[in-house]
């Protein structure tokens, strides 16, 4: 269900498209359905339907990646007449023989194991409700049993419809159920809106199941994070923290040394080999792999990158591989204040220092660019030293061209290498040169104005003020 408005987000963006850990809320829910090996997820949209559908459709392709048979379907609910009415819209998209798991697009952190247990409790014959005890159950549907504590579930009564006695019940419905599809369809057809809110309540299927003699079970969990919905920016931030804390604990259990688990954000998949350490305020996005003994300094943002064993990423480094990825070789040193962009491939023991940008370039083992440099569309050989302030001029205003710097070349400071150009192995380029022609191996190339000096020259004298 993802048709609701989400007024309290006070945002133009539909609520379910707000991001938690870098993924839309509803994407978490669809991914949970996929992890549950559902054959199909039917997303019920309404407010912002086109935006929600477009955002989710963009990610359906990813299912093939998992080798799963998973379909994504959309149905529209307009207007929104309640959760029962919402699920009624999905009926034509549901097969008769399956189990339907009803999820909310704004409840992102339900664990797959919890849903598996709920599906098992349903077993194709039982209506299984995910429930939880709340100290303050205000606003939630209450689980009404034959006798207060342990009896069979009789009904869910919405807060607004509940009597004082029912409002004292602390066991609430989470909004998540697993139900045999065929029975669900029959019950949905019998819902009415005779209640305080004048809505079609999905929760009324419980009464109908009871009157049909279909068993109803409550599968109670104790972790509120798994059933927490997002209605406001405050709740979104709280759930983000809960998610990040859990992820940080998992990493530390694997042996990763986090300087402070409260100052780490993983918005994607981070995998770490043994003896990785991560200082404070680092953000990891997309797919990031850290090899054995990798050290990440404070305040780094790293996305879509593979960093090999023993590499050290110094503070304030920004790495974003986007689609092409970034690779950092074994024992390489990067930063502080370095920027690695898509297609940067650094070999073993490469050094990239402060204010150096590398894009779509390969640096062979031992190459160094330690200060204030740009390497774009370049192939850099082993042990090359690329001087401070030097750049590859890879773009002529229309097209990009490659620069090839062969092994053991020394490029002095403040040089411009105008691509396409090749610097032969072992050559040297004098500081301040603009190189437009390829150079021979072993040659010294200098391309700058010749120095001239005027002996005993005096600076102009200061003109007295009038």
Please tell me whether residue 330 binds ligand UD1 under the rule CB under 6 A. no
β-pair partners for 93: none
Element (H, E) at 186: helix 181-189
Judged by CB under 6 A, the stretch of 98-106, 206-214, 304-312, 419-427 that binds ligand UD1 is 98-106
| 22, 124, 229, 432: which one binds ligand UD1 (CB under 6 A) | 229
The single residue of 18, 159, 318, 371 carrying the catalytic annotation is: 371
Q: Which is nearer to ligand UD1, 106 or 240 (CB)?
A: 106
Q: Are 189 and 159 in contact (CB under 8 A)?
A: no
Judged by CB under 6 A, the stretch of 53-61, 77-85, 208-216, 382-390 that binds ligand UD1 is 77-85
Please tell me whether residue 108 binds ligand UD1 under the rule CB under 6 A. no
Token digits of residue 376:
């774009």
Element (H, E) at 220: strand 216-221
Please tell me whether residue 114 binds ligand UD1 under the rule CB under 6 A. no
Distance CA 11, CA 6 (A): 8
Please tell me whether residue 133 binds ligand UD1 under the rule CB under 6 A. no
Q: At what angle do helices 112-122 and 25-35 cross, to 10 degrees?
A: 50
| 70, 74, 173, 386: which one binds ligand UD1 (CB under 6 A) | 173
Q: Restricting to residues 25-64, which ones interact with ligand UD1 according to CB under 6 A?
A: 44, 46
Shortest Å, Cβ 50 to ligand UD1: 16
> Total binding residues for ligand UD1 by CB under 6 A?
28
Of 100, 291, 116, nearest in space to 181 by CA: 100
Please tell me whether residue 80 binds ligand UD1 under the rule CB under 6 A. yes
Q: Is the peptide bond before 338 cis (omega within 30 degrees of 0)?
A: no
Please tell me whether residue 221 binds ligand UD1 under the rule CB under 6 A. no
Residue 371 a catalytic site member: yes
Please tell me whether residue 392 binds ligand UD1 under the rule CB under 6 A. no
**250 Cα distance to chain centroid:** 17
Please tell me whether residue 357 binds ligand UD1 under the rule CB under 6 A. no
Please tell me whether residue 20 binds ligand UD1 under the rule CB under 6 A. no
Shortest Å, Cβ 15 to ligand UD1: 7
CA–CA distance from 437 to each of 308, 391, 434 (Å)?
36, 15, 9
**466 Cα distance to chain centroid:** 68
Q: Are 375 and 360 in contact (CB under 8 A)?
A: no
Q: Is the peptide bond before 417 cis (omega within 30 degrees of 0)?
A: no
Distance CA 213, CA 371 (A): 76
Please tell me whether residue 187 binds ligand UD1 under the rule CB under 6 A. no
Distance CA 70, CA 33 (A): 9
Please tell me whether residue 4 binds ligand UD1 under the rule CB under 6 A. yes
Shortest Å, Cβ 278 to ligand UD1: 35
Please tell me whether residue 171 binds ligand UD1 under the rule CB under 6 A. no
Query: Which residue is associated with the tokens 């780094």?
Result: 300
Q: At what angle do helices 181-189 and 83-90 cross, to 10 degrees?
A: 120
Q: Which is nearer to ligand UD1, 86 or 404 (CB)?
A: 86
| 27, 183, 203, 327: which one binds ligand UD1 (CB under 6 A) | 203
Residues that bind ligand UD1 (CB under 6 A): 1-4, 44, 46, 77, 80-83, 85-86, 104-106, 140-141, 156, 158, 172-175, 201-203, 229
């Amino acid at each position: 269900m993802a048709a609701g408005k989400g007024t309290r987000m006070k945002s133009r963006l539909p609520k379910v498209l707000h991001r938690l850990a870098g993924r839309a809320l509803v994407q978490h829910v669809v991914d949970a359905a996929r992890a549950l090996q559902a054959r199909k997820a039917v997303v019920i949209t309404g407010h912002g339907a086109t935006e929600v559908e477009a955002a989710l459709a963009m990610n359906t392709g990813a299912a093939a990646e998992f080798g799963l048979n998973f379909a994504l379907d959309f149905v529209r609910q307009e207007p929104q007449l309640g959760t029962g009415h919402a699920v009624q819209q999905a009926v034509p998209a549901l097969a008769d023989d399956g189990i339907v798991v009803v999820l909310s697009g704004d409840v992102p952190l339900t664990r797959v194991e919890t849903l598996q247990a709920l599906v098992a409790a349903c077993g194709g014959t039982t209506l299984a409700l995910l429930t939880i005890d709340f100290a303050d159950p205000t606003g939630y549907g209450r689980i009404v049993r034959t006798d207060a504590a342990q009896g069979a579930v009789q009904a869910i009564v919405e807060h607004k419809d509940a009597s004082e006695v029912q409002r004292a019940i602390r066991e609430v419905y989470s909004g998540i159920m697993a139900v045999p599809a065929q029975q669900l369809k029959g019950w949905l057809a019998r819902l009415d809106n005779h209640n305080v809110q004048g809505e079609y309540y999905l929760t009324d299927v419980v009464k109908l199941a009871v009157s049909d003699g279909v068993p109803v079970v409550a599968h109670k969990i104790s972790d509120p994070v798994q059933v927490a919905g997002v209605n406001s920016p405050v709740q979104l931030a709280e759930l983000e923290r809960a998610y990040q804390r859990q992820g940080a604990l998992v990493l530390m259990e694997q042996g990763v040394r986090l300087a402070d688990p409260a100052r780490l954000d993983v918005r994607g998949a981070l995998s770490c080999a043994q003896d990785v350490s991560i200082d404070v305020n680092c953000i990891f996005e997309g797919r990031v792999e850290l090899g054995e003994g990798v050290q990440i300094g404070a305040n780094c943002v790293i996305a879509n990158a593979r960093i090999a064993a023993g590499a050290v990423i110094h503070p304030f480094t920004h790495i974003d591989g986007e689609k092409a990825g970034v690779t950092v070789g074994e024992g390489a040193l990067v930063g502080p204040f370095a920027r690695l962009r898509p297609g940067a491939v650094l070999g073993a023991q490469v050094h990239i220092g402060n204010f150096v940008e590398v894009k779509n370039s390969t640096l062979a083992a031992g190459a160094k660019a330690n200060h204030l440099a740009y390497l774009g569309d370049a192939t850099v050989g082993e042990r090359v030293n690329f001087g401070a302030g030097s750049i590859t001029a890879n773009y002529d205003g229309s097209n990009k061209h490659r620069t090839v710097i062969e092994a053991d070349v020394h490029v002095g400071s403040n040089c411009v290498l105008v691509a396409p150009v090749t610097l032969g192995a072992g050559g040297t380029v004098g500081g301040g040169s603009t190189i437009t022609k390829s150079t021979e191996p072993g040659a010294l190339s200098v391309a700058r104005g010749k120095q001239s000096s005027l002996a005993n020259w005096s600076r102009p004298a200061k003109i007295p003020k009038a």
